[in-house]
Amino acid sequence: MTVNSEFTARLVAGQKMHGMFVKTPHPVMIEILSRSGLSIMGNDASAC
């Protein structure tokens, strides 16, 4: 199952998912958060 289809299946099944919006361009912070088990993460580093 691909990451996208797994996310879609969980969404359709009504499972709880956790995510966050990050506003930092720091690559180490993004790498740490990507391994934290979040279901979804948005990153906006354009204004930093």
The strand ranges marked E within the chain are 19-22, 40-43
Q: Is 12 within the bounds of a domain?
A: no
Domain range holding 46? 17-48
Q: Is residue 35 part of a domain?
A: yes
CA–CA separation, 35 and 8 (whole Å): 19
Does 22 map to a domain? yes
Asked whether residue 11 is domain-assigned, the answer is: no
**Any domain includes 4:** no
Q: Are 19 and 12 in contact (CB under 8 A)?
A: no
Residues 10-32 as b/e (b if ≥16 CB within 10 A, e otherwise) read eeeeeeeeeeeebeeeeeeeeee
Q: Has residue 39 been placed in a domain? A: yes
29 within domain boundaries: yes
| pTM for the whole structure | 0.54
Q: How far apart are CA 46 and CA 38, in angstroms?
A: 22
Give the total number of structural domains in the chain.
Answer: 1
The tens place of each residue's pLDDT in the chain, 48 residues long, gives 566 788 889 889 999 998 898 888 888 988 898 899 888 888 887 765
Residue 38 lies in a domain: yes
